[in-house]
Structure 1
C-alpha cells in the first residue's frame, strides 16, 4: 500500500450540488487556489442530488404549505416562505451568472418553467389557503399568484386532478406561473464539468476514511483509492464536508466540539412514477397538498411534472420508507455507528419525543401498493394501478440536536451548516429545502470560514449575485431586475405548455 501525500488549499468531500456550488464560487473568487474533490462513487451527483433521488422542485415557497403556518389569531405567518423565496432567488442569480458567462450552457437541460400550485380539500383547509393567498399575493416576492375555488377554473388548471371529483367537495387551489422544475443531477454534473475545465482535481472512487488536525492547523485526510486499494494522505487548510447523509460520520471523525451532541435519523423516500404517456400529457404543474394531521413536514404529498433526460414525467409522493443507511449506497450499520457517548442521550431523548414519527414510518413501510394508490386517488380520483410504478428516492438524514426552544434531542427539519470556530472545516447536514438553497448556504460557509477574505471578495460576489448582502423584499426595483434577468438568461420566458 502506498502512502502518497498531496497538498491542496481546499478539499471538498462529496461530488453533489453543495460541493459543486462551493467549488464554483471559490473558483470565480480565487482562481489560483488548488481545489481537490473526493467522491466515493464513480461520477458526480449520484446520491441526494440525482434527479431520481429528489423531487426536483425549485423550492421558492410558492406552493409548499409547510413553509406557512396559521397563528393563534387566525392570520398566516409567511416569514419562513419569504426566507426560502429569497434564498432561491440567490441560486437563480448565480446560475444566471454561470450561464451568461458561458460557464454553463443550455439552461433548459437543468431548469424548466413550470406552474407551482397548492391544492387543499375541506372547508377548514380552503379557509386557510384563502388567507395564505391574501397574505402572499400582497407581497412582491409572490407577485402573480392566483386563487380559485371555481371548479371550471380548476378544471382548466389541473384537469387530471379535477376529473371525476365529487362536485360537493370543497376544493381550492393557488397557482403561480413563475415556478420551476430543476434537474439538480444534471446541474451538478454540468458544474463539475466546469470545475474540471478550471483544473479542479476531481477524484472519483475515493473514500475519505479519517481526518485529523496537523500541528500547523491544517487538516490531514486519510483517503482510500477504491479502484487500486491504496491509501493516500491529502492535506488542506480548509475542508468542506458535503457528503449528504455521509456528512455526519465525517463530522464526528473531525472531532470538532461543534459537531458533538449531534445525531441524525435517516428517512428514505418512495415516489410513484406514471408510465402511461397519455396520463402524463394531461398534467403540467407541481401541485402540493397538505400533510395529514400528525405527519412530519417531509410527508407533504405532491403531484409533479418532471423533466428528466429531456422527457416529461409524472411523479407522486413522497411516501416515507426506513433504512438504517445514511446514503442509498451506505451501510446497514450507519445509524448505529453514528451513536457516540457524546450524543447518546440526545438520540435517546429524540426517540422518546418522536414516537409519533416512528409510528408514522412503520405505517408507511407497511403500505401496500393499493394503499399508496388510495392516497394517489386523493389527487387523481380515477388513477389506475397499472399506470404507476414505485421508485425509491434518496436517503435524507434529519439532524437531531439539543436546542433552547425544543430541548434535548430536537429533530430539525431543514438544512444546517456546522463549522469549526476557526473556520478550517465546515459540514452541511440536513434535508429540504437543501439543493434549492445551495448558493445561500455556501455563501454562509464563505462568511463563516473565510471572514478575512469577505471584504475583498464582496465586489466579485455582487457581480455574480446582484442582491448579495441585501433583501430583495426591501428593494422592489432590484427584485424586478433580478426576476427579469434570471428569467431571460435561464430561458424561463418560454410559453407555458398548455394541458
Structure 2
C-alpha cells in the first residue's frame, strides 16, 4: 500500500495549529500541510469564544503575572515578558489584516480597557506598589491608578453601585489599550486562509496513533468519526496542538521527552448576561485577586465580551471538575494518562495541593444563587434572574516533578521532528510567541534563512520593545491603527 507523505501534520484545530500553519505556509509555500480535527469544525474546544475569557493577555490586569515575593518584593520581569509576547501577536494580526488574510479587525479584536480591582488594605497596598513599578514601563504606558470611588465609577460603574468606602478600602488600575479577542473567529479565519493556500483540513477525523518510521517520517494513523474508516499518512514534521489530548498522543509517540508529564483537568463555568441595561454600563475586563488555593485560571473577573458582533458581560470563572481532558473528551482520560514515569509525580501533586482540592470542593458546592453571591462581591447590584450559567472550556494543567504548573509548555523531540503543546493560560494570546519559539527549536537549520520573512510578518521579530521606548510607542500605535483599537 502506498501511503501519502506530507511535509507537515497539525493535530488539533485550535489557534495554536492555526498560527503555526500560518507561519509555515508563509515560510515554505511549497510544503504540503494536513490538519486533523476530531470534532465537526475547528475552534470548538479551548479556542471557542465561549470557552475562554477572550482577554488579550498582556499582564496589564492579571496579578498572577507579577506575584508578591515572600520578602514583599515585586518583580515586573514576567509581566513585561507576557506583554512583549502579546505585542508580537498584535503585529502578526496587523500584517495579516493589511494583506487581506484576516477580515475586518472588529470580527476578532475589540478595545476593552483592562482593569484590576482589589479590596482590603493588604491588596490595596500591593496594587499601588505594582502600579508604581509598571507605570514607567514603556509597554504599560497609560496605566492609571485610583482609590477614588468617583473615578472608579467612571471607569466601571457596576463596581461602585451600593459600595461604600467606609466599609473597606478599595483601589483600581486601568489601561485603556486593553483588548477583547474572539479567538474562535480568529482561528476560523486563519484556517480559511490555509485551505485557500492548499492545506488539507480534515474535520471529524481522529488521530489514533503516532509511530516513528525507519526513514525518519512519522506514521499518523487516523479514522473518520463517521463509519470509523481507518487510514494513515506519513509526515516529516508533526505538531500536536490538541489541548489536553496532546499528552496522550505524545505518550503514544514514545518520545522520551514526554516522560514524567501528567495533566490535571480543571473545567469552568461563566455567569453571563446580555441584558442591555447591564451591558451598557460596563466596558472593561476587570480582574481581581484569586482565592486562597485557587489556580491562576480561576482569578475572578467581570468582562466585556464581544462574540459575533454581539456584546455581553461575563463573570467567573467558577471551577468545575471532570476527569475529561477536553470538553468533549473521555471520562477515562485522567486514568489512561498514568504511566510508571509520571505516577510518583502525580501522587505528590495530589498530596501537596490540599488548598486546590479544598477550593474545587467549595466551587462544586455552589449553586446558581451562591455563584451570583460571588458576583455581588464585584457587582453589588447583581440580580439572580439577570444571569445564566454557561459551561466554559476544559483545561489540562501540567504536572511534572511533583508540581502543578501553570502556563504553557512546548515538549519537542530532540531531533525536532515532533512537538506538542501542554498547559493553558496565557495560551492563545501568546500563540505567536510560542510558535516562534517552536520554529526555532524544531527547525534550527532553517530559522536564520526564515528571518527576513518573519521580520516582514512581525517587525520587532528578534528584538524586545520595552527597553526601546520610541520603538514601543511606534509599534503599539501602528498596530492599534490597523486593528482599529485604542492605542
TM over 0.5: yes
| Mean Cα deviation higher: 289-298 or 140-149 | 289-298
Aligned to 1:419: 412
Shift of residue 4, structure 1, vs aligned partner: 7.1
Aligned to 1:323: 322
- 1:429 paired to 2:422: yes
Conserved? CA contact 1:4–1:231, under 8 Å? no
Query: Whole-Å Cα distance in 2 between the matches of residues 399 and 384 of structure 1?
Result: 37
Aligned residues: 486
Shift of residue 477, structure 1, vs aligned partner: 2.5
Residues 312-368 of structure 1: CA distance to partner in whole angstroms, max 9, x if unpaired?
100000110000000011000011101112211111111111122112111111111
Residues 50-107 of structure 1: CA distance to partner in whole angstroms, max 9, x if unpaired?
0000000000001001111223443322111011000000111111111111111211
Query: Whole-Å Cα distance in 2 between the matches of residues 251 and 72 of structure 1?
Result: 37
1:299-448 counterparts in 2 under 5 A? 299-402=298-401, 409-448=402-441
Query: Whole-Å Cα distance in 1 between the matches of residues 54 and 347 of structure 2?
Result: 34
Residues 99-136 of structure 1: CA distance to partner in whole angstroms, max 9, x if unpaired?
11111121110000110000000111111111010000
Query: Whole-Å Cα distance in 2 between the matches of residues 426 and 152 of structure 1?
Result: 51
Query: Whole-Å Cα distance in 1 between the matches of residues 111 and 355 of structure 2?
Result: 37
Query: Whole-Å Cα distance in 1 between the matches of residues 295 and 235 of structure 2?
Result: 39
Conserved? CA contact 2:411–2:422, under 8 Å? yes
SS at match of 1:118: strand
SS at match of 1:343: helix
Query: Whole-Å Cα distance in 2 between the matches of residues 223 and 377 of structure 1?
Result: 48
Q: TM-score, normalised by structure 2?
A: 0.98
- Counterpart of 2:68 (choices 63, 67, 70) is 70
Query: Whole-Å Cα distance in 2 between the matches of residues 366 and 13 of structure 1?
Result: 36
Residues 167-204 of structure 1: CA distance to partner in whole angstroms, max 9, x if unpaired?
31211000010000000000000101111110101011
Query: Whole-Å Cα distance in 2 between the matches of residues 218 and 50 of structure 1?
Result: 32
Residues 129-165 of structure 1: CA distance to partner in whole angstroms, max 9, x if unpaired?
1101000001111000000001111111111110011
Query: Whole-Å Cα distance in 2 between the matches of residues 227 and 482 of structure 1?
Result: 48
Conserved? CA contact 1:63–1:118, under 8 Å? yes
Query: Whole-Å Cα distance in 1 between the matches of residues 221 and 69 of structure 2?
Result: 50
SS at match of 2:184: helix
RMSD over aligned CA atoms reads 1.2
Shift of residue 245, structure 1, vs aligned partner: 1.1
Aligned to 2:455: 462
Runs of 4 or more off by more than 4 Å in structure 1? none
Shift of residue 294, structure 1, vs aligned partner: 2.7
- Counterpart of 1:480 (choices 465, 473, 478) is 473
Aligned to 1:405: none
Shift of residue 5, structure 1, vs aligned partner: 2.4
Aligned to 1:18: 16
Conserved? CA contact 2:34–2:201, under 8 Å? yes
Query: Whole-Å Cα distance in 2 between the matches of residues 278 and 43 of structure 1?
Result: 34
Q: TM-score, normalised by structure 1?
A: 0.96
- Counterpart of 1:450 (choices 438, 443, 449) is 443
Aligned to 1:255: 254
1:7-406 counterparts in 2 under 5 A? 7-168=5-166, 169-402=168-401
SS at match of 1:291: coil
Conserved? CA contact 1:75–1:131, under 8 Å? no
Conserved? CA contact 2:176–2:486, under 8 Å? no
SS at match of 2:435: helix
Conserved? CA contact 2:292–2:355, under 8 Å? no
Aligned to 1:497: none
Shift of residue 379, structure 1, vs aligned partner: 0.5
Query: Whole-Å Cα distance in 2 between the matches of residues 320 and 74 of structure 1?
Result: 29
Residues 430-459 of structure 1: CA distance to partner in whole angstroms, max 9, x if unpaired?
000000000000001100100010111011
Conserved? CA contact 2:112–2:178, under 8 Å? yes
Query: Whole-Å Cα distance in 2 between the matches of residues 92 and 345 of structure 1?
Result: 41
Conserved? CA contact 1:275–1:389, under 8 Å? no
In structure 2, the CA distance between the partners of 1:373 and 1:453, relative to structure 1 (3 Å rule), is same
Shift of residue 493, structure 1, vs aligned partner: 4.1
Shift of residue 476, structure 1, vs aligned partner: 2.2
Conserved? CA contact 2:398–2:422, under 8 Å? yes
SS at match of 2:236: strand
